[in-house]
Structure 1
Amino acid sequence: MYAVISKLRRKGLFIPRIALRCFDSQIRAILSYGVQVWGPHFLLQLLDRPRDTQGRYCYFDRAMEDRMVGIQHTFLRSLASVGRVPDNRLLFREFGQQPLHIHWATLVYRFWNKLVKAKNNICHNIFREEIRMALLSDCTGSSWGSLVLRGLRCLGHWPDVPVDRELEVRVNVLASKEINIDALMLTLKERLDEDWVNPRLHVQPREFVSDGTKPGVKMCRYTHWMGLPQHTTSYIPMVEYTSLLRFRLGAWALEANRPTGRPREQRWCRVCNNSNSVEDEYHVPPMECVG
C-alpha cells in the first residue's frame, strides 16, 4: 500500500479518482483473496452481535475494529492528507467508500449462487453436505455453511424453507435457492449507514446538543454545510485540494475544532471584531467572518 501511495505521489497522481481505483485493483484484491472461504467468519464477527442500549446495530464501529479495514482507513487518511480524522464516518462518506465487509459479503454470496448453479458437480455435492451439517446443528457450528446461513439470519434474509419438512427436503430447497444479492447488500449498507439517517442530524449545527451520544456535531456540520463531494468535476492544485479536504472533514484548525477544553459556545473567533462569534466551518470569509 505504501509503495502504491509513494509512486502515485511521485507522479502527481495521488488524487481520489485514480488512487481509489488503484486501491481496489491492487490492495483490496489482496485483502479479499480467498474471501469466499474465510469471509463468512469475518462477516459474522460484524453481524452476530446484539444491538446496543439505543437499538443501534453499530456495524460501522465494529467494522472499524477489523485490522484489514484499518488498512483501508489508513489509505483514505493518506488520500485526505490528514493525520487524524474527527469522525471516521466523514472520511468514508467523503470518498464514497464503505468498509471492506461490503465487498467481502458480495463475493461470498456470489460464490453461494455459483455453487447453487453448479449442479451435478463435485463442488455442488460438497455444498449440499455443508448445508446438511449446518441444519443438523441449527447453524450453531463453525462450518462454512453454518457461518453463511447464520449471516443471512442476522441480516433478516433467511431463505424461505419449510421447517416442518424432513432434513433432505430442506437441504434440497437451500441447495437450489439463489440469494438476492442486491437486496442483501441494501440491508447491509443501510445498517452501516444507520447514523446518517439519525434525526439528530436534522437540527442546525449550532443548535446541536453535544451530549456524548453519536452521531456528533461533526456529522451534523458535514451534512448541512459541506454539500456533496465532487472530486471528479474539475482540476484543483494539490495544495488547495488538500486544504479543502481537511476543511470538509472538520480537521481544519478552527477554534471550534481545537481541543481547548472550553465549551463550544465560547470558542470565539480571534480575527473578526465580533467577539461573540464562534469560529466554526460556517464562520469563515466570505460567509460570516468580517475580520
Structure 2
Amino acid sequence: MALQSMLNDLQVYCQTWGLKVNTNKTKIMIFEKGRHTSYNFVYNDIVLENVNFFKYLGINLFKNGHWNRTQKKLAQHASFSLHNLFTVFNQLELSIGDKFKLFDSMVGSVLNYGAEVYGYQEGKNIETIHCKFLRKVLCVKKATNLDGLYGETGRHPMRIHRKFIMLKYWTKLISLQNDCLLKRMYNVLKFDAENGLSYGGNNWACQIKQILNDIGMSNIWINQEHITINFQQVKNRILDIYKQEWYSNIRNSSRLSSYSIYKRSLETEDYLNKVNINKFRISLTKFRLSSHNLAIETGRYENVARENRLCTNCNLNVIENEFHFLLVCPKYYSLRRKYLKPYYCRWPSIHKFEKLMSTTNTQMLNNLSKFLYFSFKERTDNS
C-alpha cells in the first residue's frame, strides 16, 4: 500500500509539472543485503520489472545500498575524459596551473558527480584517477609517494573535496522549509542519527554528523536549526586538519626523509612555473620526490639495508642519498662548481641543503635543475 501511495504521488507530481511517465518501462528495486527478494508489484495493470541496480540522474544505485561500485563506474567514465585531457597536453604547451584547471573542469567534475550523496566513501578508484593525473603532470614513476604528489602540487585528495560538497549541500538542505519533501526526508535521517541508527554507516545524516565531530565542530550539528553556518570556516578547519595529517605523514615516511627537511607547507612549488624547460624541471621533480635511481631508493627494491645503500661513484663509503648526490659526491664536482654558487660547494651541510632546496629564486632554481639533469645524465652514461 505504501508503494502504491508513493507511485500515485509520483504520478500526481508528474501531471502537475507536465511530465510524462512511461509505465511500460517502469522498474522497481528492493534495497536489501544478501538476499534476492522478488515480488510482483503492479501499477496500472503493468508488472514492474525487479532490477538489481538502477541509474538515476547519472548515478548508479545498487540494491545492497553500498557505493563502492558507484564510484568505480564514475572512475571508469572519468578515465575516458582523462585520456582526452592527456591528448590535449601532448598537443599544447600549458602551465601547471592551467593543467590543474582543465583537470578540475573536465575530469574532476565527473569524479565528483553526485558526491552530495556518496561523498563520505573512501573512493579508492576515484583517487587512482586523480593520482594518475598528478604523476603525468610531474612525470614521475607510479611508485612515487602520494603525500609527495600532493605536497609538490599543493593539492589534496578528492575525498577532502567530496566532504566540502556534502557539507555545502547540507547547509542548503537545512535551510529549506519543513514542508519540503527533501527536508522531510532529511528530518527522518536526522532523527535516526540522533538515536544511534546509522544503517551500517549508510545514514547520510550520520555521515554529516561524523564529519563535524571529526573536525571538532559538533556544536554546529547540535545547533543547526538556530545558527547561521559559516561554510568557509568549516572548509578551512577541514583543510587545516588535513594539512597537519599530511605534514605528519611526510615527517614519518622513510622514503621522504630528505623531502621533509625542506618541505614545510602544502602549496604548489614555485619551480613548477619558473623552470620552463621540461627536461630540467622533470629532473628536479624526480630528485625532490625520490623518483630517481640513487642507491637510497633502488636499495628498497632489492631489500638492501639502509646503511648498506652506499655510493659506488666515490670512495667516501657513505649512503648515496639526495644530500650526498647534490652537495658532497666528488664525481659531480665540476658540474657543481659550474651551476651552484661557491657557498653551497664549500663545507656542505644539511642547513645548506635545506636552503638550496627551498629557494624561490628563478635563476637558482634553473641552475639547480640543470645540475641535476646533467649529473643524472653523466651517472647514467657511465653506469
2:274 maps to which of 234, 239, 251: 234
Partners of 1:200 and 1:77 lie apart in 2 by: 18
Q: Is the 8 A contact 2:192 2:198 kept in 1?
A: no
Q: 1:107: which partner in 2?
A: 165
Give the match's secondary structure for 1:258.
helix
AA of the residue aligned to 1:117: S
Task: Give the deviation of 1:72 after TM superposition.
Answer: 0.6
Q: 1:89: which partner in 2?
A: 147
Q: 2:84: which partner in 1?
A: 3
Task: Give the deviation of 1:9 after TM superposition.
Answer: 1.8
Select between 225-234 and 68-77 the one with higher mean Cα deviation. 225-234
2:234 maps to which of 184, 187, 195: 184
What is the alpha-carbon root mean square deviation over aligned residues? 2.9
Q: How many residues align?
A: 242
Task: Give the deviation of 1:254 after TM superposition.
Answer: 0.9
Q: 2:138: which partner in 1?
A: 80
Q: 1:143: which partner in 2?
A: 203
AA of the residue aligned to 1:267: R
Partners of 1:224 and 1:27 lie apart in 2 by: 33
1:34 maps to which of 114, 117, 123: 114
Task: Give the deviation of 1:148 after TM superposition.
Answer: 2.0
Cα deviations across residues 111-149 of structure 1 (Å, max 9, x unaligned)?
Answer: 1111233336624444334323433x4242333323322
Task: Give the deviation of 1:90 after TM superposition.
Answer: 0.8
Q: 2:186: which partner in 1?
A: 127
Going from structure 1 to structure 2, the CA distance change for 1:234 and 1:150 (only over 3 Å counts) comes to closer
1:158 maps to which of 214, 218, 227: 218
Going from structure 1 to structure 2, the CA distance change for 1:179 and 1:230 (only over 3 Å counts) comes to same
Partners of 1:38 and 1:257 lie apart in 2 by: 38
Q: 2:318: which partner in 1?
A: 277
Give the match's secondary structure for 2:174.
helix
Higher relative contact order (CA 8 A, sep 6+): 1
Q: Is the 8 A contact 2:272 2:281 kept in 1?
A: no
Q: Is the 8 A contact 1:80 1:242 kept in 2?
A: yes
Q: 1:166: which partner in 2?
A: none
Q: 1:264: which partner in 2?
A: 306
Cα deviations across residues 183-213 of structure 1 (Å, max 9, x unaligned)?
Answer: 4334433443445544994xxxxxxxxxxxx
Does 2:329 match 1:289?
yes
Going from structure 1 to structure 2, the CA distance change for 1:288 and 1:32 (only over 3 Å counts) comes to same
Q: Is the 8 A contact 1:226 1:248 kept in 2?
A: no
Q: Is the 8 A contact 2:307 2:319 kept in 1?
A: yes
Give the match's secondary structure for 1:22.
helix
AA of the residue aligned to 1:246: K
Partners of 2:158 and 2:246 lie apart in 1 by: 19
Q: Is the 8 A contact 2:164 2:235 kept in 1?
A: yes
2:103 maps to which of 23, 26, 32: 23
AA of the residue aligned to 1:127: Y
Following superposition of structure 1 onto structure 2, how do residues 185-204 of structure 1 map, counting pairs within 5 Å? Answer: 185-198=235-248, 201=251
Runs of 5+ consecutive residues of structure 1 not aligned to the other structure: 43-62, 163-172, 202-214
Partners of 1:179 and 1:92 lie apart in 2 by: 29
Larger gyration radius, structure 1 or structure 2: 2
Partners of 2:270 and 2:140 lie apart in 1 by: 19
Task: Give the deviation of 1:22 after TM superposition.
Answer: 1.0
Question: Normalising by the residue count of structure 1, what TM-score does the alignment of the two structures yield?
Answer: 0.72
Going from structure 1 to structure 2, the CA distance change for 1:194 and 1:219 (only over 3 Å counts) comes to farther
Runs of 5+ consecutive residues of structure 2 not aligned to the other structure: 1-81, 332-383
Going from structure 1 to structure 2, the CA distance change for 1:275 and 1:67 (only over 3 Å counts) comes to same
Cα deviations across residues 226-275 of structure 1 (Å, max 9, x unaligned)?
Answer: 67721454242111111211111101111111134332223222223x33
AA of the residue aligned to 2:147: R
Task: Give the deviation of 1:95 after TM superposition.
Answer: 0.6
Going from structure 1 to structure 2, the CA distance change for 1:39 and 1:258 (only over 3 Å counts) comes to same
Does 2:282 match 1:224?
no
Q: 1:49: which partner in 2?
A: none
Give the match's secondary structure for 2:218.
coil
Give the match's secondary structure for 1:97.
coil
Going from structure 1 to structure 2, the CA distance change for 1:226 and 1:284 (only over 3 Å counts) comes to farther
Question: Normalising by the residue count of structure 2, what TM-score does the alignment of the two structures yield?
Answer: 0.56
Cα deviations across residues 85-110 of structure 1 (Å, max 9, x unaligned)?
Answer: 34211111111111111111111111
